[in-house]
Amino acid sequence: MPDGDRRLVVGLRNPGDRYEGTRHNVGAAVVDILLSRHGAKLKRGRRSLRAEVAELSMHGHGVVMALPNTFVNNSGEAIGPLARYYDIDPAEVLIVYDDIDLPFAKLRVRFGGSAGGQNGIKSAIAGLGTQDFWRLKIGVGRPRGRTSPAAHVLARFPKNQREEIGVTIQHAADLAETFITDGGDTARQRAGELNTEH
């Protein structure tokens, strides 16, 4: 199903009800919002794709939205096959995920570079065979006290953060739409503007 004018947007997540609402699943929450906005639903993809997938047109641009059925740390096992099956160049891929090194509720759009300690991105680099893809990072902040980073990302947001992270996830969905319609450079510029607004 090759289509030269399509982009791929992937929200990283750990599958299963027990992980819903956790910091590690904010990427999936962004994809869910986009699907809801455009009246689209995920379908289970071919077994080899290891993901739930929706194909749609957004403002005249073709996009494949996907949530891997792998755990975050193995996301590349889904992302690589998805990009190849749909014949989408890695430079047209956006991966949305949580970042503990980014302050809470901040957003950053970046192209290329290392995984920065994020195992899901390390796996995506291996799966795509390149670092040259877009990332939309959602800041979840570092843990306080003795909480380990692993426990931090697998926990849900405390009540006093839920309203703000909800707004941030909506803004992240806006940025993903900008990526789809106007490209990564425009989305990156808009992310910088959003961070200075609040």
The verdict on whether 24 is a catalytic residue reads: yes
> Rounded CA gap, 67 and 11, in Å?
5
Q: Per the structure block, which two tokens stand in for 52?
A: 């739930």
Q: Helices 159-182 and 26-37, interaxial angle, to 10°?
A: 60
Strand order in the sheet with 107-111: 43-44, 51-58, 61-68, 6-11, 93-99, 134-139, 107-111
24, 38, 171, 198: the catalytic one is 24
> Rounded CA gap, 37 and 32, in Å?
9
Name which of 100, 56, 93 is nearest 76 in CA terms. 93
Name which of 141, 136, 140, 139 is nearest 175 in CA terms. 136
* C-alpha dist (Å) from residue 137 to 5, 57, 104, 111, 134: 24, 24, 11, 11, 10
* C-alpha dist (Å) from residue 142 to 73, 103, 167, 172: 18, 8, 20, 19
Catalytic residue list: 24
